[in-house]
Every structure is written in structure tokens, then in C-alpha cells.
Amino acid sequence: MVDFLEYEGKELFKRYGIPVPNFHVIRAPEDVPEFNGRMVVKAQVPTGGRGKRGGVRIVNSRDEAIKAIQEISQISFDGFKPEAFVLEDAVNVKRELYISVTLDRSVELPIVLASAEGGVDINSVPQEKIYRHAINPFVGVTQYLKRELSSFLGLSSEKAEQLGKILEGLYKIYDEMDASLAEINPLADTDSGLLALDSKITIEDDALFRHKDITPKYYILDPVEREAKEKGLAFVKLEGDIGIIANGAGLNMATIDLIALNGGKPADFFDLGGTDDPQKVVDALRLASKVTHKVLFVNIFGGVTKCDTVARGIVQAFKELKPSFKLVVRVRGANEDEGRRILEENGIRSLLNLDEAVKEVIRLAGE
Ligand code: GDP
Ligand code: MN
């Protein structure tokens, strides 16, 4: 996944006819212009919930803006320090609406989600106050959808017209940019019309090759994901507390399924692929130690990747890292005896049986 920063999303909004407040991108205090009236300073980080953590401030002068930037620079947002700021005209908001286009995997279609109760508490809005409507990709945004949505949001006919254009722009971004999410929260309802105060755009990274204009500078990957990519490892972050390192996508998937079937929650997985390089194992363990919380399960079916190579990598990584999580190793296949011997000599127990290993993982995660 590739998340755009707010200002990158807003630049895209402008191109697709979605109205946004006038804004400046600030990289250093000397970029802040003199101004009169009220403006908003906003941290540019690839994560949400900035408002609730002090990353959005109203300011009334250049000096106040610089002070706010210095203060916000000290805040870490899920590990991200703001590298830029948006300074934009503050607007008088009457209502904060929510609107997004995203992929609904259950119906295998893009859907529009919307609510008249947008803003920083969108996650606690009850289901019945959320409008959902699937879009047929062969038809796109229909007149009917626009009318129904405007009436759901209680908009006047003038604003309904504007909302229709915004929805069309958002759907076009979703479609043309291969986005998995194009979101405006809040969409401000003001006396002078609707305005997108924030943007959240997530691009499917497997589609990046179709968008040569999105250079790596234009997006920010999760830092661990980025490092994994550089080291030639496939890494996927999940939400649980059990990390997985396995060789091959199939074995990784099977391992995730087995853990889930036994009641565990995978935190992430690294695919070593088909190489026989102990350094890759060290890299994977080092990265895993940044994301795995409780237990790391190394599950290897030796073939091209030999069990003894993996064992050497594990031993080296443990000497260097002294990680805090518990380790379960299962090795089977090419050079399994040699692999197990190396592990044992270094005080690391290994298992042969996958079922037993998974049960051990679950037991340790529950401790
Ligand atoms: P997020 O918390 O990371 O989603 O950041 P947002 O850009 O959505 O800003 C958080 C909140 O700040 C919004 O929901 C608004 O309530 C408020 N906000 C942002 N810009 C303005 C503005 O120009 N005027 C006013 N009145 N409020 C704003
Ligand atoms: Mn927001």
C-alpha cells in the first residue's frame, strides 16, 4: 500500500475538480508567508488521527504558525515525524461530512461510503448513519446515486450539484489511479459551498508500474515494508502478535491459515523466497524484531533454501539482536539434520512436526 500525504492528495483533488482550501506546503519555518486572518497548520505524515494528537492547529499570524510548526515537529505520529506542513486558509465549517470510494471485497465492487457525521470521530459513527452504495464499474457514477447521496446528506440543490462533481472526481481518482481508497474526511459544508479539508488516498502498490509519475519521493511506504523491499524480502504486515518467516508464498499462506485455525493472530509475515542466503534470514529476523510482538515462528521447508543455511542465519541474528520475542523454529527437508544440530548447539530448540510447532506457537502467544 502506498499512502499519499494530505497535500499530495489535495493536489490530485485539484486536478480532478474537487474543491480544496488555498494551501501552501511548508518545509522550513522560512517558507511561512506573512498573512492576515486565520489559517490552519497541519502535520504531513502518512497516518491519520492527527487532529486528536495535536497535529492540526489554528493560527492567527506568521509567528504563531512558526511556533505551531516547531511544536508539532516534536510529535511522533505512529513513528513518523512530520517532514512537511500544510498551511491553509481556515474555513468556517457548519457540518463535517464524510465521503469515500473504496473496494468492497465482499461484493467485488467499488463502493461509496458517506456520512453526515464526518470528522475525527468517524470510526464511532453507527452503521445506520453510514450510506453505502456499490458502483458498477461499467456504468460509473449515475445521476440516481448522486441524487440519493445528496438527499441522504441533506444538501440543498446547489450543494447537491457540487457533491455530484466531487463524487465523480473521487471515483475517477479511484479508477484512474488504481486506488484502493479515495477519502475526504471531513468534507466541510460551509456557507460558500463544499470543501475537502483533508485527503486520504491509498494506491495499490502492485499497480505502481502503471503510474510512472508517482516516484518514490511522492509516496511513503511503511518503513519496515520499504526496508524489506530493499532487501528483496516480501513482507506483509497484519494485526496480531505472532510473526512468521517462511520460504515461499504458499508455505507462508498455509502457516497463516494454520495459526488462525488454531486461534492465533499473525502479526506479519516475511517470505524468504527461493534463495539460500543466511544474510536474508538475518535481515528478516532483524526486521521482524521491529514488528513482531510476542512470538516469531520460523517455518522452513528445505529445498533451494537449505535448513542449515536458515539455522546459521537464525543463530547469527540472535547473537546480534537479542530480541525480546519468543522463537519457535520448525525445519524440514534439505539438510534438516545439520540445521537442527546447529540450532541445538546454540541453545535453540527446533521441531519437525508442523502441527506441534503451531500448537507451541499458540501456547507461547497465550502466556
Ligand atoms: P486528521 O485528524 O488526521 O484526519 O486531520 P484533518 O485534516 O481531518 O483535521 C482534523 C480536524 O481539524 C477536522 O475534522 C476539522 O474539525 C479540523 N479542521 C481542519 N481544517 C480546518 C479548518 O480549516 N477549519 C476548521 N474550523 N477546522 C478545521
Ligand atoms: Mn481527516
| E strand segments, 251-325 | 266-271, 295-302
90: enclosing H helix or E strand:
none
| E strand segments, 83-178 | 84-89, 95-104, 109-115, 131-134
Please give the pLDDT value at position 11.
94
Same domain? 265 vs 345: yes
Same domain? 343 vs 311: yes
Which ligand 1 atom minimizes the distance to the CA of 89? 23
Select from 7, 40, 197 the residue to mutate for testing ligand 1; criterion: most ligand atoms less than 8 Å from CB. Answer: 197
Please give the pLDDT value at position 219.
61
List the domain range (segments joined by +) for residue 177: 95-210
Select from 86, 93, 121 the residue to mutate for testing ligand 1; criterion: most ligand atoms less than 8 Å from CB. Answer: 93
Which ligand 1 atom minimizes the distance to the CA of 53? 2
Whole-angstrom distance, CA of residue 281 vs CA of residue 265:
22
Same domain? 321 vs 248: yes
Whole-angstrom distance, CA of residue 340 vs CA of residue 197:
58
Whole-angstrom distance, CA of residue 274 vs CA of residue 278:
12
Which ligand 1 atom minimizes the distance to the CA of 21? 23
- For residue 125, the CA-to-ligand 1 centroid distance in Å is 17
Whole-angstrom distance, CA of residue 178 vs CA of residue 207:
6
Burial class (CB in 10 A: 0-12, 13-18, 19+), 238: middle
- For residue 87, the CA-to-ligand 2 centroid distance in Å is 15
pTM of the model: 0.75
Whole-angstrom distance, CA of residue 220 vs CA of residue 202:
11
Contacts by residues 203-209 (CB-CB < 8 Å, ≥ 24 positions apart): 203/1, 203/2, 203/4, 203/177, 203/178, 203/179, 204/1, 204/2, 204/178, 204/179, 204/180, 205/1, 205/2, 207/178, 208/2
Closest ligand to residue 55's CA:
1
- For residue 289, the CA-to-ligand 2 centroid distance in Å is 31
Which ligand 1 atom minimizes the distance to the CA of 88? 23
Going residue by residue through the chain, which has 367 residues, state the pLDDT in tens, using 9 for 90 and above. Answer: 788 999 999 999 999 999 999 999 999 999 999 999 999 999 999 888 999 999 999 999 999 999 999 999 999 998 889 989 999 999 999 999 999 999 999 999 999 999 999 999 999 999 999 999 999 999 999 999 999 999 999 999 999 999 999 999 999 999 999 999 999 999 999 999 999 999 999 998 788 889 888 765 556 667 788 888 888 888 888 889 999 999 999 999 999 999 999 999 999 999 998 888 999 999 999 999 888 779 999 999 999 999 999 999 999 999 998 888 999 999 999 999 999 999 999 999 999 999 999 999 999 999 9
Same domain? 201 vs 245: no
Q: Confirm whether 18 is domain-assigned.
A: no
CB of 248 sitting under 6 A from ligand 1:
no
Whole-angstrom distance, CA of residue 7 vs CA of residue 198:
8
Same domain? 85 vs 139: no
For residue 271, is it left (φ>0), alpha (ψ between -120 and 50) or beta? beta
Same domain? 149 vs 202: yes
Look at residue 256 and give its three-state secondary structure. Answer: helix
Burial class (CB in 10 A: 0-12, 13-18, 19+), 1: middle
- Beta partners for 102? 111, 181
Which ligand 1 atom minimizes the distance to the CA of 42? 7
CB of 120 sitting under 6 A from ligand 1:
yes
- For residue 76, the CA-to-ligand 1 centroid distance in Å is 18
Asked whether the beta carbons of 192 and 19 are under 8 A apart, the reply is no
Q: Confirm whether 14 is domain-assigned.
A: no
Please give the pLDDT value at position 214.
79
Answer yes or no: 7 catalytic. Answer: no
Same domain? 261 vs 351: yes
Same domain? 285 vs 185: no
Please give the pLDDT value at position 206.
81
Q: Write the CA distances from 295 to 9, 228, 253, 300, 344, integer angstroms.
A: 37, 19, 17, 16, 19
Select from 56, 88, 123 the residue to mutate for testing ligand 1; criterion: most ligand atoms less than 8 Å from CB. Answer: 56
Cα dihedral sign for 143, 124, 10, 1? negative
Answer yes or no: 98 catalytic. Answer: yes
In the chain, count H helices and then E strands: 10, 17
Same domain? 279 vs 247: yes
- For residue 91, the CA-to-ligand 1 centroid distance in Å is 10
Whole-angstrom distance, CA of residue 21 vs CA of residue 196:
7
| Structural domain ending residue among the three candidates 89, 117, 137 | 89
Tell how strand 109-115 and strand 131-134 pair up.
antiparallel
Please give the pLDDT value at position 183.
98
Asked whether the beta carbons of 10 and 23 are under 8 A apart, the reply is yes
Same domain? 105 vs 51: no
CB of 49 sitting under 6 A from ligand 1:
yes
CB of 40 sitting under 6 A from ligand 1:
yes
- For residue 262, the CA-to-ligand 1 centroid distance in Å is 43
Q: How many domains does the chain have?
A: 3
Whole-angstrom distance, CA of residue 323 vs CA of residue 314:
11
User: Among residues 6, 88, 96, 98, which one is catalytic?
Assistant: 98
Q: Confirm whether 9 is domain-assigned.
A: no
CB of 41 sitting under 6 A from ligand 1:
no
Identify the DSSP state of 346. T
